[in-house]
Structure 1
Amino acid sequence: MTGKHRERLPEWAREASLGIFIHWGPYAVPAWAEPEHIAGEEEPEGGWFKHSSYSEWYANTIRIEGSPAAAHHAEVYGSAPYEDFLDQWQAEDYDPAAWARLFASLGADYVVPVTKHHDGVTLWDAPGSEGWNTVDRGPKRDLLGPLADAVRAEGMRFGVYYSGGLDWSITDFPPIVEVDDIWRYRPNDAAYAAYATAHVRDLIDRYRPSVLWNDIEWPETGKEDGSLDELIAHYREVVPDGIVNDRWGADVWDYRTSEYSMGREKEDGVGWEHNRGLGSSFGYNHVEDESLTLSPRALAEHYTDVVSRGGRLLLNVGPDASGRIPDVQLRTLDGVAGWMSALKPYTADRSYPGADAVTVSAADGNWCRHWASGDRLVVVADRPEAVDVTAPGHEVVRIALPD
């Protein structure tokens, strides 16, 4: 299996239905992006990257001439470099135990924090990252270890996100303005491949993550010289039931991922993962208010739809620079937590009931999804009592969506 994906996910991953993504970095200090655009949907005039709704891309967007982010940065911060935000990021209210309790209250199975995003800042003292990590600057501490301990104490699994394909701290490429620029302006040399490999190997050895989540592929040299295969083999030895996502540009993945409206063709079968934020950004964007954030009801619908189609939802939270989860996000999470945790026992052992034996019919205007969980047929709807169900051999469980 060295360097190749699994034929079957481990049991915990097959049973899982909800993960929590955490995007937290220096970008939480400016916490700004245009919030109107959803990734993968109709592009705004001027293109996605010029008008990106991802606040975690702030270091790129402010370098695009004529972008609203560049104008905002000039107005608020003048000519201050992005690295100033690393020093201003203090994480003074960071309480990983409180985060973990919140995530557990939602019925989350696993938690995946960003350990290095495209800005190159590592949230631990990664090998070779001196002067560009949260131990040397800003928060002045390892932000990952305490979270790993807190997450596991609440009975959830701990994973890691790592941006293997982009690192703006070690390159002097122009900003990414169009999709092709992502592949044109990314480091692929042997030195960067060794740097990234050392980071991920350190994450594996220190934190034993159950999920290894890479982004924007892997440097080409690392694919060609065999070091990526060696890295994945090491991971499988250290964490035998760990799982690997599909964003390496190589055949090392265990499951497919989609993001907002991108990659929907990958949402097939059982075990895929859909990831998105509560708003249109992953990192905290202080512009996003309640009108731009999923309501408890909308989140319940989204989660139910993913579960009914055999997937897992990797739902992102974006803490502010102090480490607090913003009130607009807490409103949604607290508002749906009781409902999602009550649904949790019915999301395991999912399968598709036989089409010949099971029929589910809901009248127009009665939003409805269903799936099999063992010998139970789970029906979630606006008015579940009004859904007509024929399910021989299944106990029918009817659950109403939250108001």
Structure 2
Amino acid sequence: MTEIATPEEWDNLSRPVPEWFQNSPFGIFIHWGAYSVPAWAEPIGALGTIDDHEWFKHNPYAEWYYNTIRIDGSPAQQHHKEEFGGEDYDAFLDQWKAEQFDPADWVDLFKFAGADYVVPTTKHHDGIALWDAPGTGERNTVRRGPGKDLIGEIARAVEDKGLKLGLYYSGGLDWHVRPFPPHTTSESVHDTSRPKDAGYAEYAYNHVVDLVDKYRPHVLWNDIEWPDAGKHFGAHGLGTLFEHFYSAVPDGVVNDRWGATHQDYGTSEYEAARENESGSEWENCRGIGFSFGYNQVEGPEQSLTGRQLARHLTDVVSRGGHFLLNVGPRADGTIPDIQRQALTGLGHWMADAKQYLVGARPLEGAPVTDQGDSWVRWVDRGTEVVAFVDSLGDGAEAALTLDTGTFDVAQASVEGPGGTVEAAADGLKVTLSPDRPGPAIVRIPRA
């Protein structure tokens, strides 16, 4: 057995983060799978705000349906019995037809929303591959269900529209190839009930190498962990996989969910793993609602609007991060109206705002942000700073207190339809437009 690599060996993979990623504030995640057929979960709240016992038994992630229906006494298990007679999960693969799948339409929407990169799931924890993955036999979307290489079609559409392709892969879990009892704790997910053996490490390695060779993604987005027996630089080792990826895609990046090995950037998810947001490069991911996979139970009350997405994106960028926003298509391939409207609303704001987010960095010593009903986030663009100003209530005005010796407040301006700005005794007064698509974009030159 090849020994696990040392920290020094992993450190040898470290290199500067490519400029394209540094200048890509916004990406689109896509969770689409056999779980999109039942499309059911309890929308109880955001990851990181609910304790383990409650979370797993009432899991709001529709893509975790296969796990949740196996937890005795869970509402999902009862729903599965009532709606589907308790049938085998794999029946959903055959019922998943993707008959209205139009990847060009998807990517048009993503590009309008201002996205820089797109990350579809290639294999989630249920083990069903969205391409003809080696070793999966008939259990993939080319052989069953949609009858298509869904990843190949998405990849071509992304390339055609000039965006970067990333690929999600669940290296940490595969409930089909390595079945375990259902997860009911975070410990079981990340340690006690995940596959760690060399056989599964080789299986996952062959998948990811195939993805790299076929589609040349710029992001490898692994989830949960990587089998411990594969954390080496030998045959079918994770170190060898990273070397192969960087050789094939020299400006590619990998996330941090490979265990204690190597990463180009950290990740947080909803409110979980926020400690990873302190690194030099990090990315927050979340859905428009509380689920990644499409959840028919979710409505407007669980979903962010375009204006709320604009605030979330701005908040992330103002703190030095990237934002990966998930879209969960229906089984037929259509994007639900709530999600489409949110992305369209965000796009109307991004038409003016994106140029001020690209390459922006956190403003050191930024003035106070939220004041009363006012919501303010700051970014540094070298010769100027930009304040993104919104109201959390009905207020139409916001005051920005600034050092008038440091900033040329007389030359401040608002870009786009967000409102107007004028100099005040101790800074600026921003009058917000009632029909603004997102925060007002206030440019303030340095004196």
TM-score class, shorter: over 0.9
Q: Please say if 1:387 is aligned against 2:400.
A: yes
- Asked if the contact 1:3–1:232 (Cα under 8 Å) also holds between the matched residues in 2, the reply is no
Q: For residue 345 of structure 1, what is the aligned residue in structure 2?
A: 355
Q: For residue 169 of structure 2, what is the aligned residue in structure 1?
A: 162
Q: For residue 367 of structure 1, what is the aligned residue in structure 2?
A: 375
Q: For residue 78 of structure 1, what is the aligned residue in structure 2?
A: 85
- Asked if the contact 1:275–1:314 (Cα under 8 Å) also holds between the matched residues in 2, the reply is yes
Superposed counterparts of 1:217-366, under 5 Å:
217-224=225-232, 226=234, 227-355=237-365, 359=367, 363-366=371-374
Q: For residue 95 of structure 1, what is the aligned residue in structure 2?
A: 102
Quote the offset at 1:172 in angstroms: 2.9
Quote the offset at 1:177 in angstroms: 1.0
CA distance in 2, matches of 1:216, 1:49: 15
Q: How many residues align?
A: 400
State the SS of the aligned residue for 2:121: strand
The alignment's C-alpha RMSD in Å is 2.0
Q: Which amino acid letter does the alignment assign opposite residue 342 of structure 2?
A: T
Q: Please say if 1:201 is aligned against 2:236.
A: no
Query: Could you state the TM-score of these two structures normalised by the residue count of structure 2?
Result: 0.85
Return 5+ residue gaps in structure 2 as ranges: 1-7, 391-395, 419-435, 439-447
State the SS of the aligned residue for 1:103: helix
CA distance in 2, matches of 1:290, 1:282: 15
CA distance in 2, matches of 1:85, 1:362: 47
- Asked if the contact 1:385–1:398 (Cα under 8 Å) also holds between the matched residues in 2, the reply is no
Superposed counterparts of 1:52-201, under 5 Å:
52-182=59-189, 183-201=191-209
Q: Which amino acid letter does the alignment assign opposite residue 21 of structure 2?
A: A
Query: Could you state the TM-score of these two structures normalised by the residue count of structure 1?
Result: 0.94
- Asked if the contact 2:363–2:378 (Cα under 8 Å) also holds between the matched residues in 1, the reply is no
Higher mean C-alpha displacement, 49-58 vs 260-269: 260-269
Indicate the structure whose relative CO is greater, using CA pairs within 8 Å and at least 6 residues apart.
1
Percent of residue pairs identical: 50
State the SS of the aligned residue for 2:309: helix
Q: Which amino acid letter does the alignment assign opposite residue 185 of structure 1?
A: S
Q: Structure 2 vs 1, CA of residues 384 and 7 (structure 1 numbering), >3 Å: closer, same or farther?
A: farther
CA distance in 2, matches of 1:353, 1:79: 54
State the SS of the aligned residue for 1:345: helix
CA distance in 2, matches of 1:364, 1:159: 40
Q: Which amino acid letter does the alignment assign opposite residue 347 of structure 2?
A: A
Quote the offset at 1:3 in angstroms: 3.9
Q: Please say if 1:20 is aligned against 2:28.
A: yes
Return 5+ residue gaps in structure 1 as ranges: none
Structure 1: which 4+ aligned runs deviate by more than 6 Å? Answer: none
Quote the offset at 1:47 in angstroms: 2.5
Higher mean C-alpha displacement, 67-76 vs 174-183: 174-183
- Asked if the contact 1:362–1:387 (Cα under 8 Å) also holds between the matched residues in 2, the reply is no
Quote the offset at 1:298 in angstroms: 1.4
- Asked if the contact 2:31–2:293 (Cα under 8 Å) also holds between the matched residues in 1, the reply is yes
Higher mean C-alpha displacement, 336-345 vs 5-14: 5-14
- Asked if the contact 1:377–1:397 (Cα under 8 Å) also holds between the matched residues in 2, the reply is no
Larger radius of gyration: 2
Quote the offset at 1:63 in angstroms: 0.3
